[in-house]
Amino acid sequence: MEPTLFSIGEFSKVTGLSVKTLRFYQEKDILTPSRIDGESGYRYYDQTKIEQARIIVNLRAMEFSIEEISVILKECGDERDVLAALRQKKAQIEQRIRRDRDVAACLDRIIAKETEAQRLVEQSAFAVENKSLEPMLMAGIRMKGKYSDCGKGFSQLARALGRHIAGKCFCLYYDGEFRDEDADFEACFPLRKEVSAEGVSVRTLTGGRVLSLIHKGPYDQLGRSYAKILRDAKERKLELQLPTREVYLKGPGMIFKGNAKNYLTEIQLPFTAGT
Amino acid sequence: MEPTLFSIGEFSKVTGLSVKTLRFYQEKDILTPSRIDGESGYRYYDQTKIEQARIIVNLRAMEFSIEEISVILKECGDERDVLAALRQKKAQIEQRIRRDRDVAACLDRIIAKETEAQRLVEQSAFAVENKSLEPMLMAGIRMKGKYSDCGKGFSQLARALGRHIAGKCFCLYYDGEFRDEDADFEACFPLRKEVSAEGVSVRTLTGGRVLSLIHKGPYDQLGRSYAKILRDAKERKLELQLPTREVYLKGPGMIFKGNAKNYLTEIQLPFTAGT
DNA sequence: TTGCTCCTCACGTCACGTGAGGTGGC
DNA sequence: TTGCTCCTCACGTCACGTGAGGTGGC
């Protein structure tokens, strides 16, 4: 008549629950030994506890907390409550699935951007090119101050135009020279369609021929690339025009500052052919 | 030239991070105050820290741990590593989505079963009925012993036949009387198609007319319902035949033992019309 | 004095896992 | 003695939150 008793080690193997977990479940009063030896303190479990353990394992697999399991096991009287608990748990899990989907989508976008950026870094040839630009619909905010203030312009534009933005941000420079303090420039974004926003100039930027050079590295070293492209312009006897442009192909991302050594900036100097 | 400094309370409002969280991030060295007053210990944050905070918030929203964020922020040198981290995180999240889907599907199945069981409880009329049964393909294991041993028969059948099972388990009783110790009965399941398994009798159970009564409550009170249905059979002058049947419409579930007061068992007594 | 903001330090959460130190019988 | 199984007790995890007790200036 004596039922087979398992020591905690044996019962652990039978149920797949660790010894520590079994002791923990006893403490939480959801799976208690059938008998505890008074002298040694050894725990013994009988057959019926295997069923109980299986139930707990199942509930844990369905993400019920120990507390919830405790309640469910105790009030196994009202099945309506159990059904309600199941439905609620399912709702929780579906909620998490939705959130996870959003997160995954977000990660996807960032991954795509970063991948594209890396591709750009690896592809870029770093030679002066003579190329032709299409006219482009754009939005800009004209600013006076330090070059580094353009970031504020970009975020203002991004807030105002959001999803209408169609490409990388760029700047137009209206000074013929380098100005440290009160430069005259315009922070810009290409646009998908014509929209208007307060304080923003929306217009079509003329295309035409430009001398182009992709600068790789931090912004404070743009000077070297300017030297190179200007030397080239002189050799080619080109007559440069204002405003000049800088397209920020890859800079600090929204999430990651990135390594400034890998920033990519395209310098574009519009020109009309000289003699 | 002094940049605006925020006290921890102000910075908390600006960033949406709690004061406690800001102190915690400092401890973890991922978002340190720009200045700490030597005398009061007050923390002060400048503008650039807002950006930093935003980055951290974004990474946390994408489920990166503080430890991971710490690494990402420190080695912002190699963007390849960051990209790898992003991909890995995405894989993790998709993994969790898959697991959650499984859990949700599992919950769904259990919810459906429980709902069905409750519907049965609420619908059952508890009156003796005279009804006709179709012949049925079934698998059974003949047993001798206590009635309560039938559970072993059911689990053996379930293991052997699994997805071929087509409905609720039932028992056939070959004794004309109640036997406590060495009853002769058969644990059965209806089958979808004819299959064979060792130690299992697969055959078609004849149909015909039966007197039926649904018993609500624990198994040890089946006696009352038997009394009722037998009284009825006598009144109707029916000649009862063996084996009789018990169909376990709702008993202890796989996950939940359920409340025995709500168990439903259909007693079926086959008969040939009397005089 | 009250109210506000800031500080530090200690402890709690959740479901266990880790490890130290010890027992009992082969 | 070594090896095995069992025991208890204390502490760690993770990203903070809670609360106690105190400061400093209006």
DSSP chain A: -PPPEEEHHHHHHHH---HHHHHHHHHTTSS--SEE-TTT--EEEETHHHHHHHHHHHHHHTT--HHHHHHHHHTTT-HHHHHHHHHHHHHHHHHHHHHHHHHHHHHHHHHHHHHHHHHHHHH-----EEEEE--EEEEEEEEEE-GGGHHHHHHHHHHHHGGGB-S--EEEE--SS--SSSEEEEEEEEBSS----TT-EEEEEP-EEEEEEEEES-GGGHHHHHHHHHHHHHHTTEEE-SSEEEEEEE-S-SS----GGG-EEEEEEEEEE--
Distance between CA atoms of B67 and B75, rounded to whole angstroms? 13
Contacts of B69 (CB under 8 A, 6+ apart): B30, B56, B59, B60
Asked whether the predicted pLDDT for residue A209 surpasses 90, the reply is: yes
Report the distance separating Cα B159 and Cα B151, nearest Å.
Answer: 12
For position B129, what pLDDT does the model report? 87
Taking all atoms of strand D, which protein residues have CB closer than 7 Å?
A: A 7-10, 12, 19, 23, 40-43; B 18, 20-21, 24-25, 40, 60, 65-67
Residue nearest to nucleotide C16 (CA to C1'): A21
Which tokens belong to A19? Answer: 């010894």
Measured to protein CB atoms, the chain C nucleotides within 7 Å are 5-8, 14-18, 24
Q: Do B107 and A114 touch (CB under 8 A)?
A: no
Q: Which residues of A touch B (CB under 8 A)?
A: 55, 58-59, 61-63, 72, 76-80, 82-83, 86-87, 89-90, 93-94, 96-97, 100-101, 103-104, 106-108, 110-111, 114-115, 117-118, 254-259, 262
Which parts of the protein come within 7 Å of strand C, by CB position? A 18, 20-21, 24-25, 40, 60, 65-67; B 7-10, 12, 19, 23, 40-43
Amino acid at A91: A
Residue A216, classified by CB atoms within 10 Å of its CB into exposed (0-12), middle (13-18) or buried (19+), is middle
The nearest alpha carbon in chain B to A59 belongs to B255
> Percent of chain B having pLDDT more than 90?
53
β-bridge pairing B264-273 and B238-240 = antiparallel
Of A83, A104, A259, the CB nearest to B76: A259
For residue range B70-88, list pLDDT tens digits in order: 988 887 656 777 888 899 9
- Intra-chain end-to-end CA distance of chain B, in Å: 114
C-alpha B27/C-alpha B21 separation (Å) is 10
Partners of residue B264 on adjacent β-strands: B216, B250
Nearest to B100 among A80, A93, A259 (CB): A93
- Is B246 or A182 the better-scoring residue by pLDDT? B246
Question: Interface of chain B against chain A, CB under 8 Å?
Answer: 55, 58-59, 61-63, 72, 76-80, 82-83, 86-87, 89-90, 93-94, 96-97, 100-101, 103-104, 106-108, 110-111, 114-115, 117-118, 254-259, 262
Q: Which residue, chain included where needed, has tokens 């770093």?
A: A126
Task: Give the model confidence (pLDDT) of B198-249 as tens digits.
Answer: 889 999 999 999 999 999 888 988 988 999 999 999 998 888 988 999 999 8
